[in-house]
Amino acid sequence: MKYRFLKALTLTVLLATASAAAPAVTEAAEQAPSVINVTGYAEQQVAPDTAYITIGMESTASNAQKARSDNNLVMNQVANAVKALGVTKDDLKTTNFNMTPNYDTNGRKIVSYTVTNNLRIRVSDFDLIPRIIEKAGQAGANRVMGMTFTNEHADTIKNNLIKEAVHNGRSAAEAAATAAGGQLGKVKEINISGRTPSYSSVYAGAMNARLMKAESADMAPVEAGTNTLSETVSMTFYIQ
């Protein structure tokens, strides 16, 4: 009998607690602060500060060792010629080294081997580019894979773009809050995403056939153009 009484009393207390908590939860949900989500954007045209030129060598010989040694000889000469122009070792990187067999018309017998080797060169002095291509051709390189211009030293510009993007986003949020009859409050959240593009030039691609006899006077001028740096911020504000 005593057990049944305690059980009934416990159930009564639980029901009373649940009944008391329900209005509190509903009231809290109704009082959740209003927010507004906006996006701010800013961009700027900036001259690139860094260029990457990729120069390569393709060699074919009847045996793999000969093809590889011929290729190594030329690419070492290319690297030394580029260093002589003032490019440091840290700005040189070997990429895309491949050796592939070549078969006869029946596709059964290997008749030769082709080795390809590319050297990526980073420069900040764009006036060096025609001279680099000239020296590479004189050293025996026979492939220019192209050039890429990018911005690697633009931290100050990016920081200013972030400030501008935040200002633009806040202005939009204030306008929306006022139009809705409210007042803009504090920032709840900010997310930043930037874009530092690079673009490739077809300038060098057309030079492959002439690379062996390239001279500075024959080289088309290098026009670096501009890149569009941009910053986007996504912001959430409270509305008072």
Strand order in the sheet with 227-239: 34-46, 227-239, 184-195
26 within a domain of the structure (yes/no): no
**pLDDT tens figures, 171-182:** 999 999 999 999
Q: Same domain for 103 and 169?
A: no
Find where tokens 């005593």 sit.
2
Lowest mean pLDDT among 14-18, 56-60, 65-69, 93-97: 14-18
Q: Same domain for 77 and 123?
A: yes
87 within a domain of the structure (yes/no): yes
Q: Same domain for 54 and 85?
A: yes
Q: Same domain for 84 and 185?
A: no
Mean pLDDT throughout 205-233?
68
1 within a domain of the structure (yes/no): no
Structure-token pair, residue 190: 């900010």
78 within a domain of the structure (yes/no): yes
18: Cβ contacts below 8 Å, ≥ 6 apart: none
Q: Same domain for 186 and 212?
A: no
164 within a domain of the structure (yes/no): yes
Is the pLDDT confidence value at 12 over 50?
A: no
Q: Report the distance separating Cα 108 and Cα 220, nearest Å.
A: 45
Strand order in the sheet with 143-150: 92-103, 110-123, 50-61, 143-150, 199-201
Q: Same domain for 41 and 123?
A: no
CATH number at residue 108: 3.30.70.2970
Q: Tell me if 235 sits within 8 A of 37, measured CB to CB.
A: yes
Is the pLDDT confidence value at 235 over 90?
A: yes
Is the pLDDT confidence value at 43 over 60?
A: yes
Q: Same domain for 103 and 207?
A: yes
Q: Same domain for 171 and 62?
A: no
Q: Report the distance separating Cα 56 and Cα 122, nearest Å.
A: 14
Structure-token pair, residue 166: 């935040």
Q: Same domain for 147 and 159?
A: no
Instruction: Give me the number of domains the chain comprises.
Output: 2
**pLDDT tens figures, 74-111:** 999 999 999 999 999 999 999 989 999 999 999 899 99
Task: Give whole-number Cα distances, 85 to 138, 139, 201, in Å.
Answer: 14, 13, 22
Q: Same domain for 187 and 172?
A: yes
Q: Same domain for 100 and 183?
A: no
9 within a domain of the structure (yes/no): no
Structural domain span for residue 127 = 48-152+198-223
Q: Same domain for 162 and 215?
A: no
